[in-house]
Amino acid sequence: MMPYLLLQIVAVPLVASVVIGFSRTANKSRKSSWIAIATLSYTTLLLGIAGLRIYAGEVIFEKYPLGPEISLNLLADGLSLPVALIINLICVALAIYSMHYVEHRIELIYGEIDPQTHDIYYRRFFLLYLFFPTGFMGVCFATNLIAIYFFMELLTIIPLYFIMAQFGYSDYITRYKVALMCVYWGVAGATLFLIGIILGYTQIGSFEIAELPRLTGNSLTFLDRFDHSAGAGEQTGRHSPARVDALGSRRASHLHCGPACGVCQYRRIRGRTDPYPSPCEVIFTLFLCRL
């Protein structure tokens, strides 16, 4: 059994990025691109090994404590592993495609530059690019909300801004303006996510995703407000018969969506069997209200 399997999948691209940053290449060498491709091929192999173990019925869980309430917990199961594998394969394909494409972009943007400067830009692209698989794999496997927030910021702040600003389209000023706009929106969205994490922690005392069902019935949650408004509507007769029937059926049998629904499959796989409606039930019921 390979030790630190999931940690390797998450951390190896970041280590390879540091290696590319300290490496020195000859004139117009593609060494950095080959390092990136070899790294992502290795993580794809690790994902294949993890997939075989999961196919045999195993759930892979690794825990790395970072503090009293914060730990890097990584979980690979029948939902997170396929998503991570697809993303990693796309990253491999993009790395192979970028070998020639980045050279073309450097020549198009910066014109005739000396080979040493060309190599600096070429290495810089693949150094930044490897932050993407690290962030994506972290989001796929992390079970801790603070860890997910960190990996989301890793995707937004570091690689996205510099790749868009230095290798994007349009003129110099427009590229940096668009890159800054993406960073601002990314940070704004992540800040709202962090506020939600903190509010959840104040209610349940945990950052773990598995503990989020304990928020059910809490006055801060949407589902609680939905249930209360639904109950009030039934008492006053404001809802259509279709909606009342849908709500009654849900409360009677706690129906969930079919096996094709990824959101509800996620709830089942991660143990979310509470009697409150699944996200797709909420959407379906709201749709019936328009009838």
Asked whether residue 145 falls in the same domain as residue 204, the answer is yes
The residue whose two tokens read 């950052």 is 207
Asked whether residue 121 falls in the same domain as residue 237, the answer is no
Per-residue burial over 276-287, b = 16 or more CB atoms within 10 Å of its CB, e = otherwise: bbbebbbeebee
Q: What angle is formed at CA 25 by the lines to CA 43 and CA 128, rounded to 5 degrees? A: 45
Asked whether residue 223 falls in the same domain as residue 205, the answer is no
Asked whether residue 245 falls in the same domain as residue 193, the answer is no
pLDDT at 2: 77
Asked whether residue 172 falls in the same domain as residue 264, the answer is no
Asked whether residue 180 falls in the same domain as residue 36, the answer is yes
User: Could you tell me if residue 153 is left (phi over 0), alpha (psi between -120 and 50 degrees) or otherwise beta?
Assistant: alpha
Rounded to whole angstroms, how far apart are CA atoms 285 and 243? 6
pLDDT at 3: 82
pLDDT at 207: 87
pLDDT at 126: 93
Asked whether residue 71 falls in the same domain as residue 184, the answer is yes
pLDDT at 159: 87
Rounded to whole angstroms, how far apart are CA atoms 206 and 203? 8
Q: Is the pTM of this model over 0.85?
A: no
117 alpha-carbon distance from chain centroid: 34
Total domains, the chain: 2
Asked whether residue 194 falls in the same domain as residue 126, the answer is yes
Q: Which of 163, 178, 209 is the last residue of a domain?
A: 209
Instruction: Show the low-confidence residues of the chain (pLDDT under 50).
Output: 223, 226, 230-263, 265-267, 269-270, 272-276, 278-291
Instruction: Please say whether the beta carbons of 146 and 155 come within 8 A.
Output: no
Render pLDDT for 14-68 as a digit per residue (tens, 0 to 9). 999 999 988 876 666 788 999 999 999 999 999 999 999 999 999 899 998 887 7
Asked whether residue 237 falls in the same domain as residue 104, the answer is no
pLDDT at 160: 86
pLDDT at 272: 47
Print the domain residue range for 276: 216-289
DSSP 87-156: HHHHHHHHHHHHHHHHHHHHHHHH-S--HHHHHHHHHHHHHHHTHHHHHHHHHHHB-BHHHHHHHHHHHI
